[in-house]
Every structure is written in structure tokens, then in C-alpha cells.
Copies of this chain bind each other. A is one copy, B any other.
């Protein structure tokens, strides 16, 4: 089912900072600050936010308050409230909390799968299947969508190269297991833009429109180049983290996520709509500066604006 897809005139920027950013922050952000941050992001125009993760609190204490954060986010009209859950146990909590969307990570790298969720690749696919069964069993108003997050799709700092054939096969397995959509994650920031184009084409040939978005990291400075390449191939959803917070505690050497405000700035430059007010988005960085003292805030768009104001 090969599909050719044109670059989109509107994209969805999905904020993952409250999950992917905070799980790698040095400090723990107070629940109240998380809620203020999420509100500020939504007021800047973000339409989808991954607000937390239903994992073992002893493993990721930064996200132990996810149920409370979800409850707050659900009060914001029009916002898609997403969470991460690695297995059925987490998904049960996510559905009970009322999350609109659950992302289940499935790593293409055996080494990363074991380090990140303590499962083999095959076990992760079965976990995804069990989450989809919970989705199907949920009452209509409480039924979340399920995204398979295909991690280390472009390489892995633990395993090294990840064969593209493995990624394509795994994407098909994830759709077969019931995922509504599959996103390609450059978990450790190993992707280059030619590879992004090639892999997007190959995965789309395998699973068509179920391929939804990309999740990029800026480890080697290529997040925006990779996002541009993905957009040229018709990808319409891009994960980002305000100020580029993030990384992966179980993938040494990985650095922050694609910077949300830089993604927005690039797409606006390209004439692509995001529905986001860049000034308000940049202003929301102040909440991070205050609630995560000592954390490095990345981002060219913010630096450029600050420089212009000083000039």
C-alpha cells in the first residue's frame, strides 16, 4: 500500500516535555508547576501534550504524580491529553485517569528494549497488544487511542546500528497488534535527514497512513534538519520539548528532545501553520527556569529573540 504524501500546510506539534523532558531532569518539578506549565503550553496553542507516564514511581519518581497532572490537563478544553504507558498495568491506570491517548514504547533495538522497559522486542509488542485490548474493552467515552512509539528507529547508542528491515517489520507488527498509529522515535538522536526520508518511505510503504509522526532528539544538532526531511516526506506530527529538555536515562549519551519552539519557528518560516503563538510559547520557558533551577534551557528561537531585544 505505497502512498505518496505531500508536505503538509499544517502540522501538529505535540509537546512531550512534561513526560520526556521531566523524566530526565535533575530535579523533580512540583505538581503545581507542572500544571501551570501545561496550562501555559495550551494557552500558547499547543493542541496535544504528553503530560506524564504511568510507570513504576520508584523507577521514574519525577512522574509519580501523573494521575494528578492528567486530571488537571483534562480540565483544559480541546487539549488532547496523552500519556506514556509501557504495559497493560500502566494502561489501566491511564484509562482510569481518563487519558485521551496512550503511547506504548516498543524499541527496535534489543539492547534498548531491555534497558528501557525490561522486555524483549517481542514482549513489548505483546504488551502493546494487551494495551489495545484494554482500549477496545473501555467504555466508549473513556476509550483512548493507542500509539506505538517505535523507539531507536534510527540507531541506538547501546546497540549501534538498527537494521531498517527490523524497523519496517516491527512497524507492521505494531499495527497488527492493534496500534491506531505508529510514530518513529530517534530516541538517542542518531538519525540523519537522508535516513529519515528513506525510512519514512519504507515504513509508509508497509503501514500507510498508520505512520503518524516523528519524535526527534537533538543529540548531534540534527533535530530540525531531520524534522524538515520528515515533513518533506509528508509527516504531519512532530514531538518537541520546550527548551529541549529531555534525553533518555537508559540510553547513555542521548541529549535533549527537539526544541518545541524551534520546531514552531521553523514551520512558521516554511509557511506551515501550527496554531501556536511563538511568543507565548517562548514566554512559557520562564516556568521551567523557575521550577527547574540549574537545568540548561536550549533553543535558538529564544536566544535569537533575546538577542534582538538586547540589540
Contacts and interface: CB of A to CB of B under 8 A. Distances in A.
Given A224-B224, A225-B225, A304 B253 contact: yes
B266 A222 contact: yes
A308 interface: yes
Interface string A271-311: 10000000000000000000000000001110110011001
Interface stretch (A10-18, A47-55, A125-133, A213-221): A213-221
A301 B221 contact: yes
A229 interface: yes
A192 interface: yes
A1 interface: no
A220 B270 contact: no
B255 A307 contact: yes
A307 B221 contact: no
Contacts of A220: 262, 265-266, 269, 300-301, 304
A96 interface: no
Interface in A200-246: 218-222, 224-225, 227-229
How many copies of the shown chain assemble into the complex?
2
B270 A221 contact: no
A311 B219 CA distance: 14
A285 to B, nearest CB: 15
A8 to B, nearest CB: 13
A124 to B, nearest CB: 25
Contact of A219 (B266, B299, B304): B304
A47 to B, nearest CB: 23
**A: contact size bracket:** 20 to 34
A193 B304 contact: no
A193 B195 CA distance: 17
Contacts of A219: 300, 304
Given A228-B193, A228-B225, A218 B266 contact: no
A194 interface: yes
A265 B189 CA distance: 13
A308 B142 CA distance: 43
Interface of A: 157, 189, 192-195, 218-222, 224-225, 227-229, 252-253, 255, 259, 262, 265-266, 269-271, 299-301, 303-304, 307-308, 311
30 contacts: A157-B308, A192-B266, A192-B270, A193-B225, A193-B228, A194-B271, A195-B269, A218-B300, A220-B262, A220-B266, A220-B269, A220-B300, A220-B304, A221-B224, A221-B259, A221-B262, A221-B265, A221-B266, A221-B300, A221-B301, A222-B266, A222-B269, A222-B300, A224-B224, A225-B225, A225-B227, A225-B266, A253-B311, A255-B303, A255-B307
